[in-house]
Amino acid sequence: MKVLIEFEKSPLLFKDPKKIISCHAHDEVASCFVEMENEIASGHYLAGFISYEAGYALEQKLATDKGYDFPLIYMGVYERPVKNAVDVRSISRKAAGRLEIVTTNKSRQEYFEDIDAIRSFIERGDVYQITYCMKFLLGYKGDKYALYRELFDAQPVPYPAFLEAEGFSVLSLSPELFMKKNGTHIVTKPMKGTWFREGIMNNLFGGHFLEHDPKNRAENVMIADLLRNDLGRIGNNIRAPKLFEVAGYRTLFQMTSTVTASIDADILLHDLFKALHPSGSVTGAPKIRAMEVIRQLEGEDRKIYTGAIGYITPDKDLMFNVPIRTLLFRGNAGEMGVGGGIVWDSTPQGEWDECMIKAGFINPLK
């Protein structure tokens, strides 16, 4: 298993694990966290991922006895990472193949019906916002790392990662930080708010339009408040030093806010992830009810999409992204989740169009 973490332009390559900690059922998640704690206490690094569905196991109300065909937790145990950039980027020198979008897992009609259903939940007061996702089903014959490199070069992002394991590969071109912990200081940067760069005016001024758009600001502050509440379960000195920051990418602008807290430097990993995973930016609010609605309507597992990819040091410092714009391949068949925040004034056609445009970062490579 190889895990390449390239967060914040500081590449780390984890290879040749001593062992892999993994599970496929909710009742195994707690023991995985105990095993992770033991390995960290022994001076080892951990690198890998925690799937979205592991979040159900961390909340008693949501846990089930279902077995999953994709790991809920998949963490390699390593002596140390490789930090030499030349070694990191020499994983493969093969050329990328041809990426094809085969279909979506939801028809337009099914998608429209689900958006209308979410608006009904909002109208009844069950939820305020739902981050609803669909999937693009992909076909690809070629070297997965070469594809990852080509996608990254076409649209650089701050939190990319590549993972290659027996039976699957993960190519994460994520612009979103889930959490970063250094000692007692923890930072989260929930992303909510999108403006597309179609047309001259949007290309030039879309960032300004997004920053001052009332609907996007309302969605963003709602999720920032959710992260404040989640961090309040494990920490204190909760702050939001930056709100409504806008970053530009090749096809769109996106808005983030920064929420920080002080926590115990030795907090148990289970407690940390129980409070925060999955990120509120990929569920909606209130979080638990939103996750129930997501499970009911989406109809299939998200797997790595909107989970968490990252690493943990022996000192319990850590950094994880939110795996959006992330491709999961098993053999030549792949999937890529795409979604958005649904609120009362969302329209089915508008949300469908947003998904199509968000998937545009792979279009040049089709």
Q: Which residues are catalytic?
A: 176, 192
CB within 8 Å of 214: residues ≥ 6 apart: none
Cis previous bond, 286, omega within 30: yes
DSSP 361: G
Joined together, the tokens standing for residue 300 give 């299939």
d(CA 136, CA 105): 6
Q: Which residues pair with 203 in a beta bridge?
A: none
Which position has the token pair 């949300």? 351
- Strand boundaries in the chain, DSSP class E: 2-5, 12-14, 19-23, 45-50, 73-78, 98-104, 129-141, 159-165, 168-174, 177-182, 185-188, 191-196, 235-248, 252-263, 284-285, 308-312, 318-321, 326-330, 333-342
